[in-house]
Structure 1
Amino acid sequence: MARTAGSHGPKTMEAIRKAALTLIYRKGYEAITLRQLADAVGIQPGSLYNHVRNKQDILFDLVHDHMTTLLAEVEQAVPADAAPLAQLEAFIAFHVGYHITRREQVFIANSELRSLEAPNHSVIVGLRKQYEGVLIDILRQGRADGSLRVDEPTIAAYAILSMLTGICSWYQPTGRKSAEQLATLHRDLILRGIVA
């Protein structure tokens, strides 16, 4: 592919990130090469090193960006002063909506966690724990005020997150249910199980 005229600096880095996201999603981290990435962007392989040190940095950048965006947006989506039940409903709607619209990022963040080197892995696991902690705290507050029947908030949170994130593997925008309808269905399934 010919290099895009005028591509440099931030514009090239954004092209690298987009191409890496697509390639890793389609082929897997281990299967892609920097040469393939350079070809997809339309630059010489050696030019990649003007923007990234190595393939590991690219993967970490993609997953770290996904996790920091997820944390920032959940903070905006879940009202801190609301009752636990309202917080739980907001969390479910946010999680389903976010994950449906960012399927590539979610898939890579989950399936390629194993490909991160130890220091990078630790950073991402820490960010994941922060996100999980949002839901765990909601469930603990609901247990404390009696609005939610949750004996084990941490285990319940992991079960809920698995169910909600699983939507990425089967959701189709052209399916018979909209994203909003699916969020409502998931909310109802969860609330029927734990609302006191």
Structure 2
Amino acid sequence: MPETTRETTREPSSGPTVDRLMAAAARSFADKGFHATTTRDIASGAGLSPAGVYVHFGSKEELLMGLSRTGHESALAAVREAVAQSPTPREQLAAVMATFSKWHAEKYEIARVVQYEHHHLTPEHHAEVLGLRKQIDAVVRGVLEAGVADGSFTIDDVGDTALALLSIAVDVARWYSPTIRRTPSQIATTNAHLALRLVGAAA
């Protein structure tokens, strides 16, 4: 049966085997891309037979959706927590940029899948993921609007600035590797400073 056409209406199960499949899929999608990855690649990475994938997931796309959903939810929770733990818009922006950048470095495999493979999802799944992406954008916009309101930031366009800031953090997943000399924490600090300079709030 073709990998991209097998359909299912069940929810994927949970447990150690599912976790292994998700980790193997993340590695392979990040390395090869969605289309070049086969279910055999994923099964092999998880120590299963190819048929073992379909015990838990109805299709390769369903695996991609699982990664996309959990990845976006993890990132959204992280940026919301960063805002909640910071008292002022200036500190919130620095915290959000540091957190979001560090997330993309520490979880670079799933981050690459989340950011660069979501267009392979079905229209229904893509719409769900787009909703999560809009929520992350809304967090950043909210911080920027609060900073403009209290005079902390000088911004011509909140939407354009939010896009620029998010792009800086997202791009970390494209080039980051554990072999580089810069650590996730160093990247986080650099991008937080860049964000503050971009909005005219550098110390």
After TM superposition, the score normalised by the length of structure 2 is: 0.84
Partner of 1:60: 65
Partner of 2:158: 153
Distance in 2, Cα, partners of 1:50 & 1:61: 15
Compute the displacement of 1:11 (Å): 1.8
Distance in 2, Cα, partners of 1:45 & 1:182: 38
Q: How does 1:17-28 map to 2 (within 5 A)?
A: 17-28=22-33
Give ranges in structure 2 of 5+ residues lacking alignment.
Answer: 1-12
| AA matched with 1:163 | I
Partner of 1:180: 185
1:47 to 1:153, Cα distance in 2 relative to 1, 3 A: same
Q: Deviations over 1:155-184 (max 9, x none)?
A: 100001111222233334454443333322
Distance in 2, Cα, partners of 1:93 & 1:108: 20
Partner of 1:85: 90
| AA matched with 1:122 | A
Compute the displacement of 1:22 (Å): 1.1
1:28 to 1:71, Cα distance in 2 relative to 1, 3 A: same
Partner of 2:43: 38
Compute the displacement of 1:13 (Å): 1.1
Partner of 1:135: 140
| AA matched with 2:189 | T
1:9 to 1:59, Cα distance in 2 relative to 1, 3 A: closer
CA RMSD between the two structures:
2.0
Does 122-131 or 87-96 show the bigger shift?
87-96
* Count of residue pairs the alignment pairs up: 189
Q: Deviations over 1:128-167 (max 9, x none)?
A: 0000110011001111111101121111000011112222
Distance in 2, Cα, partners of 1:74 & 1:153: 18
One of 7, 12, 18 as aligned partner of 1:13 = 18
After TM superposition, the score normalised by the length of structure 1 is: 0.87
Partner of 1:118: 123
Compute the displacement of 1:35 (Å): 2.6
Q: Is the 8 A contact 2:24 2:46 kept in 1?
A: yes
Give ranges in structure 1 of 5+ residues lacking alignment.
Answer: 1-7
Distance in 2, Cα, partners of 1:162 & 1:119: 25
1:177 to 1:45, Cα distance in 2 relative to 1, 3 A: closer
Q: Deviations over 1:63-122 (max 9, x none)?
A: 101011111222222226721111111111111211110111111111111101100000
Compute the displacement of 1:41 (Å): 2.5
Compute the displacement of 1:195 (Å): 2.5
Percent identical among aligned pairs is 32
One of 94, 97, 104 as aligned partner of 2:99 = 94
Q: Indicate the structure (1 or 2) with the bigger Cα radius of gyration.
A: 1
One of 43, 47, 50 as aligned partner of 2:52 = 47
